[in-house]
């Protein structure tokens, strides 16, 4: 870094060669959009930063903003590790992302409508048949069901990374129950509390209207008059790791948080048991997986489900957000074809890039993958949270041999991608009291109603807290940052 | 409101009140041990008896340990195996609040959460070691803060009614047991130790947060009968059995208001009505009438009422119904 910025908090900050740093250019100067912020933050002393970081962490703990909850009755709850140095996105970059995300959700919706309807795509491209229908996430008995309001992907969380050139690329689509949005809002509350002047001068777009927008979106897809509709959030319960978020959303939308046992179905209509008798429910934002929704249709052993719920949904009497069966569109093997879907259904070129993906179900791809295991990241299509992965460049011979056998046994379950150099962001390291560069990703949230899509200006920036790590998942030592999307300059 | 949530509200109220009451009794007993020249077992035994923990304590530490104030306090504060210990009560209060995080106000939840984290963290333990009085005081204040916040930051609607119902029913039971245990001890003492007796009655009033209110309404004249009557019948004192049961009656009437379907809540009200009719000084007149009998009736009646409320309002269909709390719904 140049002398002028050399003082204060960012003193000695160094970037990782080959990685795109969100704040500093390869020449060591701040990117022009963010110069102001860097000065404001840089003027803080390490002492001061240690103090406000501790303050923020205590606040999170006392507020119970925790993610990993007890397996035993008194197990420790942890706060989602959190770094106060925000991640910035310029107005220009955001406008690009917004267009791309809206387009992607539109194409994925069209794909889902088709695959649960006519299946025009499969007729025209039979080679995709096995890949698309071969996932357990496709639910064939739901074919022909049109969800109330016509919306399937009410809430999407689309994971993005930035490659070495700074180009945003889609890494993964989450169209079932994407989580994390509560941390976006809690992080912002903390930023407001501990960095008020910085936030004010950085001209950041607000995120706190998300719950109101979500409630509006959910109501708009109700089978009845939105004004007279009852919306609930369905949770597996307090022992679920995302319980904080479930209660957060119910609380901030002003709707009830229900457990499956609070609901029942009669005459293909859903009711909630209250102290004053039953009350009809019209919209369910469910945070439990498809497989647990209804023991009549899915797992008979599920205690989380509501008997008859799928029948009520198919009859058009209740909205389920997101619609059951969406998993087929966020399957990691199907992901490889999303750019094709955009062209096929929309007749448009994809706005957003995505990571080249080898689908092991295809012979040609499989051969390449097996020959290049050392260079590739192999992922199991039906595992999340960074599990079931082979990081080729860091793997041992035994690990590679293990994956080779697995791929040969069940090729449909594996895909492979080149390792992308994730972008980095200055991150506070409490142990050394220094700002260090750590890799980040970004999960924006897109809400869709019959009137169209809306992208929350911000999102969950997850950060790999360990030096050298690429793994940003909270279950594997990742943390989060507040994402500051800049306002357009007037 | 959802039946499961009503149940969590009710238990949140009960556990908060129980925590406050436990901390208060321990705090006051510690003070009494300094004031009154009493044999230690007469000091600490009542603390165990009020919470129904004498048998469990004796089984664990032997009867002679009842004179060991530290053992008693440790048992009622930290003992994991004791459902009535503060650490368990506050865990349960917090667990209930967390389960209905979207129902209670943010302020109320944060105080409950903070109190529990304080208790099990370094600070709470250090306070217990170095400043016992401040330790109990902190718990009492935080609980009061939480109840005050629930009143001033939540909608005055069904969820709050259930929290309050839990508070007043727990409180009625606690006051009745407190009085019963102390009265029993005092009745067994030789007459004539007026100073000692007075110290005990005063301590009883303090344990019921009733010292100043009593003095105000009795111009400083302390007698056993007057203290008992005050804790039982005083309609203006928020911890008297009558005040609590009258409040319960109000909440139950509100909950069963005509817009409901069917005779919901009628059994609970039918159970409460005769209790209220007995809560008058005349009930202590007559050859068969004793204070102990009346108190027993109140304790048992309150407990029965809680079971009826559970049956009528919580529907008992959910697996959560078997939560920890149900096991300590003591008589």
Cβ atoms B299, B180 nearer than 8 A: yes
Rounded CA-CA distance A353/A338 in Å is 10
- Determine how β-strand A82-89 pairs with β-strand A358-359: unpaired
* Option in B1, B101, B318 nearest A274 (CB): B1
Please identify which residue in the block is written with the tokens 């609980």: B143
Question: What pLDDT score does B56 carry?
Answer: 93
Cβ atoms B165, B13 nearer than 8 A: yes
* Option in B102, B260, B317 nearest A251 (CB): B102
Q: Nearest CA to CA, how far is B162 from chain A (Å)?
A: 11
Q: Is the Cβ of B158 closer than 8 Å to some Cβ of chain A?
A: yes
Rounded CA-CA distance A66/A77 in Å is 6
Residues of chain B found within 8 Å of residue A251, distances taken between Cβ atoms: 101-102, 106
Residue (of A347, A260, A244) closest to A309 by Cα position: A260
Alpha-carbon B148 to chain mean position: 17
Q: Is the Cβ of A250 closer than 8 Å to some Cβ of chain B?
A: yes
Q: Do B318 and A63 touch (CB under 8 A)?
A: no
Q: Does residue B86 carry a pLDDT above 60?
A: yes
Residues of chain B found within 8 Å of residue A276, distances taken between Cβ atoms: 1, 259-261, 264
Mean pLDDT of chain A: 90
Main-chain phi, psi angles of B300, to 5 degrees:
-70, -40
Main-chain phi, psi angles of A170, to 5 degrees:
-75, 135
Q: Does residue B331 carry a pLDDT above 70?
A: no
* Option in A248, A262, A303 nearest B4 (CB): A262
Q: Does residue B6 carry a pLDDT above 90?
A: yes
Beta bridge partners of A281: A270
What average pLDDT does range B204-224 have in this prediction? 86
Range 70-99 of A in CB contact (< 8 A) with B: 74
Burial zone of A301 (CB within 10 Å; 0-12 exposed, 13-18 middle, 19+ buried): exposed
Q: Nearest CA to CA, how far is B99 from chain A (Å)?
A: 6
Q: Nearest CA to CA, how far is B260 from chain A (Å)?
A: 5
Burial zone of A157 (CB within 10 Å; 0-12 exposed, 13-18 middle, 19+ buried): buried
Instruction: Kindly report which listed range (A7-16, A70-79, A390-399) carries the lowest average pLDDT score.
Output: A70-79
Question: What pLDDT score does B20 carry?
Answer: 96
Rounded CA-CA distance B17/B43 in Å is 23
Beta bridge partners of A463: A440, A479
* Option in B91, B101, B319 nearest A251 (CB): B101
Cβ contacts of A211-214, under 8 Å, gap ≥ 24 = A211/A185, A211/A249, A211/A252, A211/A253, A212/A253, A213/A447, A213/A454, A213/A456, A214/A155, A214/A249, A214/A253, A214/A285, A214/A447
Nearest residue in B to A74, CA atom: B91
Cβ atoms A235, A257 nearer than 8 A: yes
What average pLDDT does range B197-213 have in this prediction? 84
Q: Is the Cβ of B135 closer than 8 Å to some Cβ of chain A?
A: no
Question: What pLDDT score does A383 carry?
Answer: 72
Q: Do A276 and B261 touch (CB under 8 A)?
A: yes
Residues of chain B found within 8 Å of residue A275, distances taken between Cβ atoms: 1-3, 6, 158, 255, 264, 313
Burial zone of B168 (CB within 10 Å; 0-12 exposed, 13-18 middle, 19+ buried): buried
Q: What is the DSSP string of A388-454?
A: SEEEGGG--HHHHHHHHHHHHH-GGGEEEEEPP---EEEEEETTTTEEEEEEEEEE-EEEEETTEEE
For A86-106, how does the pLDDT look when each residue is reduced to its tens digit (9 = 90+)? 999 999 999 999 999 999 999
Residues in chain A: 490
Q: Nearest CA to CA, how far is B102 from chain A (Å)?
A: 4
Residues of B171-199 as b/e, b for ≥16 C-beta within 10 angstroms?
Answer: bbbbbbbbbbbbbebbeeeeeeeeebbeb
Q: What is the pTM of this model?
A: 0.86
Q: Do B259 and A276 touch (CB under 8 A)?
A: yes
Residue (of B108, B106, B44) closest to B77 by Cα position: B44
**Two structure tokens written together for B311:** 């049956």
Please identify which residue in the block is written with the tokens 């245990």: B181
Q: Nearest CA to CA, how far is B57 from chain A (Å)?
A: 23
A·B CB contacts under 8 A? 73
Main-chain phi, psi angles of B238, to 5 degrees:
-70, -5
What average pLDDT does range A338-366 have in this prediction? 96
Q: Do B102 and A244 touch (CB under 8 A)?
A: no
Question: What pLDDT score does B189 carry?
Answer: 65
């Amino acid at each position: 870094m140049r002398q002028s910025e050399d003082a204060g908090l960012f003193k000695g900050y160094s970037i990782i060669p080959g990685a795109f740093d969100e704040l500093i250019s390869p020449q060591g100067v701040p990117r022009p959009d963010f110069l102001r912020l860097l000065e404001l933050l840089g003027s803080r002393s390490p002492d001061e930063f240690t103090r406000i970081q501790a303050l923020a962490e205590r606040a999170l703990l006392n507020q119970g903003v925790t993610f990993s909850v007890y397996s035993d009755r008194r197990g420790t709850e942890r706060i989602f590790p959190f770094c106060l140095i925000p991640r910035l996105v310029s107005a220009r970059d955001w406008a690009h992302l917004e267009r791309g995300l809206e387009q992607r959700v539109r194409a994925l919706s069209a794909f889902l409508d088709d695959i649960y309807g006519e299946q025009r795509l499969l007729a025209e491209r039979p080679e995709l048949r096995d890949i698309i229908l071969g996932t357990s996430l496709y639910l064939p008995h739901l074919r022909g069901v049109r969800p109330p309001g016509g919306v399937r992907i009410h809430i999407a969380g689309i994971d993005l990374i930035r490659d070495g050139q700074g180009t945003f690329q889609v890494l993964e689509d989450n169209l079932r129950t994407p989580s994390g949005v509560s941390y976006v809002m809690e992080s912002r509350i903390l930023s407001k509390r501990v960095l008020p002047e910085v936030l004010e001068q950085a001209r950041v777009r607000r995120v706190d209207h998300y719950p109101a927008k979500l409630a509006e979106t959910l109501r708009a897809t109700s089978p009845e008059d939105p004004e007279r509709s009852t919306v609930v959030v369905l949770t597996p319960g307090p022992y679920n790791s995302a319980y904080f978020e479930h209660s957060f959303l119910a609380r901030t939308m002003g709707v009830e948080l229900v457990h499956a046992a609070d609901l029942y179905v009669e005459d293909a209509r859903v009711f909630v048991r209250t102290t004053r008798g039953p009350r009809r429910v019209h919209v369910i934002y469910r945070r439990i997986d498809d497989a647990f929704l209804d023991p009549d249709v899915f797992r008979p052993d599920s205690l989380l489900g509501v008997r008859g719920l799928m029948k009520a949904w198919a009859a058009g009497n209740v909205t389920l957000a997101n619609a059951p069966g969406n998993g087929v569109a966020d399957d990691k093997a199907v992901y490889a074809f999303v750019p094709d879907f955009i062209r096929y259904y929309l007749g448009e070129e994809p706005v957003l890039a995505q990571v080249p993906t080898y689908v092991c179900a295809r012979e040609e791809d499989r051969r390449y993958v097996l020959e290049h295991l050392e260079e590739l990241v192999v992922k199991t299509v039906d595992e999340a949270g960074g599990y079931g992965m082979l990081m080729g460049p860091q793997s041992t011979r035994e690990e590679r041999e293990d994956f080779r056998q697995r791929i040969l046994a069940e090729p449909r379950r594996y895909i492979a991608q080149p390792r992308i150099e994730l972008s980095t962001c200055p991150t506070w390291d409490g142990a050394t009291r220094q700002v260090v560069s750590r890799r980040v990703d970004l999960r924006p949230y897109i809400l869709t109603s019959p009137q169209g899509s809306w992208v929350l200006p911000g999102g969950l920036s997850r950060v790999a807290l360990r030096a050298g790590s690429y793994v940003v998942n909270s279950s594997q030592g990742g943390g989060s940052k507040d994402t500051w999307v800049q306002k357009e300059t007037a | 409101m959802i039946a499961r949530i009503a149940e969590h509200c009710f238990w949140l109220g009960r556990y908060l009140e129980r925590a406050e009451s436990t901390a208060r009794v321990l705090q006051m007993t510690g003070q009494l041990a300094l004031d009154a020249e009493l044999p230690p077992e007469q000091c600490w035994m009542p603390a165990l008896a009020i919470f129904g923990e004498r048998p469990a304590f004796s089984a664990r530490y032997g009867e002679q340990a009842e004179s060991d104030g530290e053992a008693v306090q440790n048992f009622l504060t930290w003992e994991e195996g004791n459902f009535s210990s503060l650490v368990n009560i506050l865990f349960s209060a917090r667990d209930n609040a967390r389960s209905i995080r979207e129902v209670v106000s943010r302020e109320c939840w944060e105080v409950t959460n903070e109190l529990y984290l304080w208790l099990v963290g370094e600070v709470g333990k250090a306070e217990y070691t170095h400043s016992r009085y401040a330790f109990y005081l902190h718990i009492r204040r935080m609980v009061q803060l939480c109840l005050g916040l629930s009143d001033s930051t939540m909608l005055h609607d069904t969820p709050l009614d259930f929290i309050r119902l839990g508070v007043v029913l727990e409180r009625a039971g606690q006051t009745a047991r407190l009085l019963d245990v102390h009265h029993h001890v005092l009745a067994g003492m030789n007459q004539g130790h007026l100073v000692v007796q007075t110290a005990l009655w005063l301590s009883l009033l303090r344990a019921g947060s009733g010292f100043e209110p009593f003095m105000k309404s009795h111009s400083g004249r302390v007698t056993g009968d007057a203290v008992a009557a005050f804790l039982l019948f005083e309609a203006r004192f928020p911890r008297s059995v009558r005040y609590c049961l009258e409040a319960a009656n109000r909440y139950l009437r509100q909950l069963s208001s005509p817009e409901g379907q069917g005779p919901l809540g009628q059994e609970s009200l039918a159970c409460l009505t005769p209790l209220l009719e007995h809560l008058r000084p005349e009930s202590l007149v007559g050859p068969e009438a004793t204070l102990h009998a009346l108190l027993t009736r109140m304790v048992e009646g309150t407990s029965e009422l809680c079971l009826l409320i559970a049956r009528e309002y919580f529907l008992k269909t959910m697996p959560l119904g078997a939560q920890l709390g149900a096991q300590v719904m003591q008589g």
